[in-house]
Structure 1
Amino acid sequence: MGRTPRCARCQDAIVTTEPATDDQSPDDRIRPSTVTLRDVAGAAGVSKASASRALDPTSQYVSPEMRARVLETARRLGYRPNASARATTTGATAMVAVLVSDIRDPYNAEIVHGVIEQAGSSGLVATFAGTDHAIDDEIRVVRMMRSLRPHAMILTGARSGSTVSRASLEEELARYTQEGGRVVIAGDDELPFDTAVVPRRRGASELVAELFRLGYRSPAVLRPDHDSAAARQWEDGIVEGAHRLGMRIEYDAVVRTPMTRDGGYDAARNLMERRPEGLDVVLAATDAMAIGAMSAMRDAGLNPGTEIGVAGFDDVVGTEDVTPALTSVNLALARVGAAAVKLALAESAADHRRVEFEPRVILRGTTPARHG
């Protein structure tokens, strides 16, 4: 019995492929380490060009049947595409780069979840980079990602920065598209690229309408402490809904605070200390802020939902697990992430495309009816 060959330097065993036996098919005798695109094409009974298109998840010019046959053949033979060669040939790798403003934010995490699932089922690998809500950071990351030549870049979350910075970001992304890349925004329709829209404004307006129907008339608003399109759309929806229904939002009932649990706690504690007249419900820009507000109410000796209603926004942070369960607005965030990948894989269009989902108000225990 022969000795297992070992690496002279590290003494790790070197695994080799067993020789083919007579009961193996000719296709299976090909060593995985030497399988080429030509081998896959021959075994699948298609041309090399057809095999290449079938193995490219971004190709639109291949039938589902052929793609399935070529992929199965590649799997059976152990074929692994050469990413560097693909980038040289097509100008891009089978990768989608996702720029996330804050991966700790459950809102972004839900979008990312949708991106990962859709990218995986589409034959793409998703890679991520944080930008900390800052446009200047996004510009830096876009420049770095361009060198990796991903098929597409997906930008998520809120962003803040000067008009000059925003123009620079648009220029940098435009250069990337001129190189053959695709850009999709998953969030707010604020940049001139294909967008999977998060319906914040409409969702906020519909939330106010539902609360009005339940008998609430005097809301306090916990708004984000930084300016962004996301924050403006949520606030515009709240104000629009309140104005249409004749609800008054007093100046001293609006508090700017970070979009975190602690930010919500501090803002609600401030409100409870001065208790604006008639206050009957607290509206927070995120569920995390709303959950923090509920804790502040308890510490002030109040029962959330019983004495003052509470409503969050985005429906992604254990809203059903708190007591009482938190009223929120479901924004279909995972579907937004999946739609962003689909837009990135679709053929380029002259006009920028816009996909928007319906928001859904979820009424729970923190906003019981106030009638009677």
Structure 2
Amino acid sequence: MADSPRRATILEVARDAGVSKTSVSRYFSGERDRLSPDMQRRIASSAGRLGYRPNQMARGLKAGRSRLIGMLVADIRNPFSVAVMHGVEQACRAHGFSLMVCNTDNDPAQERDHLALLTAYRVEGLVVNVTGRPGHELEALAAQDTPLVLLDRALGDVEADMVGLDNDQAIDTALDHLRAQGYGELLCVSEPTEQASSRQQRLGRFRERLDADGLQGEACCLALDDAPALERAIAGFLDRPSHAPKALLCANGNVTLAVTRALQALDVTLGETGLLGIDELDWCALVAPGITTLAQPTEAIGRAAVDSLLQRLAAPERPAPSRQILFTPELNARGSTRR
């Protein structure tokens, strides 16, 4: 059996790059800002050429730090989760951290198990897109001075920063656009709201705006795997007599996909019946005549979550009050809301 290739050492990288071992160590430990751009390029080039990979576990044990950021996502198949995860990973890499991702598959029991696992790996910070109400487990992490950031979903019993979309503004933008386009009767479609505060906020704001603006409308919450029930709900809404053009507002990207399929099955003409979805997905511009969306700045949301963790890691002795960091959606108007 052939011998496995020998791993390059930090000393070899330093000699090749013409720098000190301390500089190489700083480059791989999140202190790159202390090095000149030229020195960073030389170290990166030498490490790549020699195939050097730092032993992060050994470095963490030596320094008492793991250099790991944990991320808990409710559904890794959700395009929103994937897009935000990319922003989180990019920010972690830029600061010398590795990202450890756990998917709960919307199962509170798995959520508790994964939180225990992340604790065992001594993650230095945690980004959490909650499924259930893991207040006790998150409080235990906070008691160990592990900073937490809640992603998209808030927990009233946990003191932590929350990063996500400005849901009130998203609904306001959607309704203002639909009304300006001449739609007067609306159906807001959402997944069940019990385990997601963002869904609750969006539906709550929708109902508030209906009452305040005198719009006609209703909301329905359905499991998306029950396609016949969704088709019946949409058909019932569209078949009711009305003097005003009708439109559907989808509370997230998964709902937009399910509603689009239902409208195609019902042979509904988009535009004549309006359709607007929260979350921009790649296919929305491809389905004729194009689906109007509200795009979330997912990259910025992911980076903001990591920035929040790093700020708290930098000053653990001066804990600041928890805060909400909310982002503005961008309207992509297409043919589905053009009558």
The reply to whether TM is greater than 0.5 is: yes
Q: How many aligned positions are there?
A: 327
After alignment, is 59-68 or 345-354 more displaced? 59-68
- Match status 1:236 vs 2:204: yes
CA distance in 1, matches of 2:267, 2:57: 62
Matched to 1:87, the amino acid is: G
Alignment partner of 1:150: what SS? coil
Q: Which residue number corresponds to residue 9 of structure 2?
A: 35
SS in 1 for 2:278: coil
The one-letter code sitting in structure 2 at the alignment partner of 1:367 is T
1:360 partnered with 2:294: no
8 Å contact kept, 2:193–2:200: no
Instruction: Give matches, 1:188-207, under 5 Å.
Output: 188-190=153-155, 191-207=158-174
Query: What is the SS of the residue equivalent to 2:198?
Result: helix
Residue 90 of structure 2 corresponds to 117
Equivalents in 1 of 2:180, 2:47: separation in Å? 59
Kept in 1: contact 2:276–2:293 (CA 8 A): yes
1:215 counterpart residue number = 182
Counterpart of 2:139 (choices 156, 168, 171) is 171
Q: 1:264 to 1:350 in 2, by over 3 A?
A: farther
Contact 1:91–1:149, Cα closer than 8 Å, also in 2? no
Q: Provide, for residues 279-307 of structure 1, a one-character-per-residue CA deviation record: whole Å limited to 9, x for no partner.
A: 7111121233233323333433432322x
SS at match of 1:93: coil
Aligned counterpart, 2:253: 287
How many Å apart are 1:354 and its aligned residue? 4.0
Partner secondary structure for residue 304 of structure 2: helix
- Answering whether residue 118 of structure 2 is matched by residue 151 of structure 1, we say no
Give the Cα–Cα distance (whole angstroms) in 1 for the partners of residues 33 and 93 of structure 2.
20
Larger radius of gyration: 1
Q: 1:102: how far off? A: 0.5
Work out whether residues 184 and 344 of structure 1, in 8 Å CA contact, stay in contact via their aligned partners in 2: yes
The Cα shift of 1:174 comes to 0.8
How far residue 202 of structure 1 moved from its aligned partner, in angstroms, is: 1.5
Alpha carbons 1:256, 1:267 under 8 Å: kept:
no
One of 330, 350, 363 as aligned partner of 2:319: 350
How far is the alpha carbon of 1:101 from its aligned partner?
A: 0.5
TM-score by length of 1: 0.76
In structure 1, C-alpha distance between the alignment counterparts of 2:265 and 2:127, rounded to whole Å: 41
Question: CA separation in 2, counterparts of 1:102 and 1:198?
Answer: 18
Q: Deviations over 1:302-361 (max 9, x none)?
A: 32322x212211112521111231111111123212222333334346223543322112
Cα distance, 1:214 vs. partner? 1.4
SS of 2:168's partner is helix
Q: Distance in 2 between matches of 1:82 and 1:48?
A: 15
**Equivalent runs, 1:276-315 vs 2, <5 Å:** 276-278=240-242, 280-306=246-272, 308-315=273-280
Alpha carbons of structure 1 residues 143 and 45: separation in structure 2 relative to 1, 3 Å:
same
Tell me the distance in 2 between the aligned counterparts of 1:78 and 1:298: 52
The equivalent of 2:53 in structure 1 is: 80
Question: 1:69-101 CA distances to partner (integer Å, 9 max, x unpaired)?
Answer: 555555555543222322212333333222110
Shift of 1:47: 6.4
The 1:296–1:42 alpha-carbon spacing in structure 2 relative to 1, beyond 3 Å, is closer
Alpha-carbon distance in structure 2 between the residues aligned to 1:298 and 1:366: 13
Is residue 211 of structure 2 the alignment partner of residue 248 of structure 1? no
Give the whole-Å Cα distance in 1 for the aligned partners of 2:267 and 2:49.
Answer: 65
Q: Tell me, in whole angstroms, the C-alpha distance in 1 between the residues paired with 2:55 and 2:64.
A: 13
Matched, 1:14 2:14: no
Structure-2 separation of matches of 1:240 and 1:214: 20
- Alignment match, 1:4: none
Cα offsets for 1:220-243 (capped at 9, x unmatched): 121222412011121123223333
2:235 aligns to what? 272
Structure 1, 214-223 or 345-354: larger mean CA deviation: 345-354
Q: Contact (CA 8 Å) 1:264, 1:289: kept in 2 or not?
A: no
